[in-house]
Amino acid sequence: MKRRVVITGIGVIAPNGIGKDNFWYALKTGRCGIKKISFFDTTDFPVKIAGEVRDFNPEEFIEKKKARKMARFSQFAVACSKMALEDAGLTGNASKKYQIGIVIGVASTDIRTVEHQCKALYLKGNEKVQSFASAVGLPNAPASTIADACDINNCNFTISTGCAAGLDAVGMAYQLIKEGTLNIVLSGGSDSPVTPVMLACLYTAGMVTKNDNPSKASRPFDRYRDGGVLSEGAAVIILEEMESALARGANIYGEVIGYGQSIEGKDEAMGTGLKRAIEKCFGDADVSPDKVSYVSAHAPSDKLLDLYETKVLKDVFGSCIYRIPVSSIKGHIGNPYSAAGVMQVISVVLGMKEDVIVPTINYEFPDPDCDLDYVPNYPRQNEINIALVNSHGFGGANSSVLIRRSG
């Protein structure tokens, strides 16, 4: 018999809110976290906006001396993990009692540290390069620092599949529990890519918007969308075997019932990989598309990605997709890489608790080729029983998760 997997804890740090309550309030009220860049001088940059996390103080979660030697994506990851563990009632010696595992997704390394050390090397010489920099910027640093900070010494995995990495981390955690390897897994994604080099690369590649109005720049599915917005943040959830959660009286937000992942080959038509991922997800859950009551779309405000996700939904769902609400939270948060998919999961389960679907903000001018019900600009009272969450990453990774209402 397949073991059931539920979500029992949430931790989130997003450009529009730190902590689940602030994040959820911002999503419901359409508060955008995209602003003019403050991290570095953008005078000579054609792009001057990003989704920065402005009010984060790592010392609220991490000892000052340790925090100073952590990369920002690791600080985010540790803070979110502590929030999630506390939310799940897994503090104190719980990590030893329950043998918690860790699966964290990252889309990029710590670019900020790399840039700073390159400047030190080229301008001042070898002796000015910091000795700890080689370790703090590794892709596995967030998972490793979580293990140390939260005293978790069980299995520890890092997944890197581009922007889909966080949702893949959730998928892997779900599989580990479903198959009986673990009872509890801390899973999520963390990235902090808002740096001069990363922004310049994305602009050169034509992947970020030229719109310089922060609150209107990210426009998923809108006719005048012209690219995404670079962002940062982290999101961590606790996945737990249902009987374990019930036995300890945990609060259950929702149940993960299916996961699918597929890489899109370079010679395949765009959207093929996402379609396979969604179909695998439905097969894993043994659920038909017409049972879904909401779709949380990847939709990063990209001219092609939003269009092809729409086409894939039509292919998979058929005519019933026209009665299923769809929305994207990227208008609120930009694209925080691996954290995005996990933030979508959080928005879904909090929506299930209140029967609320978060809006696609900045959807003002309908695109005739994107003609679904995108829940424009204002939240909608709507019961969510089963939700599909999609994520797409650089390199052709596509991932989907199905979540069912608890109770």
pLDDT exceeds 70 at position 22: yes
Summarised one tens digit per residue, pLDDT across range 210-237 is 998 999 999 999 999 999 999 999 999 9
CATH superfamily of 254-405: Thiolase/Chalcone synthase (3.40.47.10)
- 113 Cβ contact partners less than 8 Å away, ≥ 6 residues apart: 71, 133, 136, 137
What integer pLDDT is reported at residue 117 of this predicted model?
Answer: 77
**How sure is the predictor about 170, in pLDDT bands with cuts at 50, 70 and 90?**
very high
CB 325 within 8 A of CB 387: no
Residues of the chain with CATH 3.40.47.10: 5-247, 254-405
pLDDT exceeds 90 at position 94: no
CB neighbourhood size of 66 (10 A) = 16
Instruction: Please give the CATH topology (third level) of the domain spanning 5-247.
Output: Peroxisomal Thiolase; Chain A, domain 1 (3.40.47)
pLDDT exceeds 80 at position 264: yes
**How sure is the predictor about 1, in pLDDT bands with cuts at 50, 70 and 90?**
low
Q: What is the pTM of this model?
A: 0.96
What integer pLDDT is reported at residue 265 of this predicted model?
Answer: 86
Place of tokens 């309030």: 25
What integer pLDDT is reported at residue 150 of this predicted model?
Answer: 94
Summarised one tens digit per residue, pLDDT across range 309-360 is 999 999 999 999 999 999 999 999 999 999 999 999 999 999 999 999 999 9
- 86 Cβ contact partners less than 8 Å away, ≥ 6 residues apart: 9
Summarised one tens digit per residue, pLDDT across range 104-122 is 999 998 888 887 778 888 8
Residues 143-163, mean pLDDT to the nearest whole number: 95
Instruction: Report the chain's terminal Cα–Cα distance, integer Å.
Output: 20
What integer pLDDT is reported at residue 123 of this predicted model?
Answer: 83
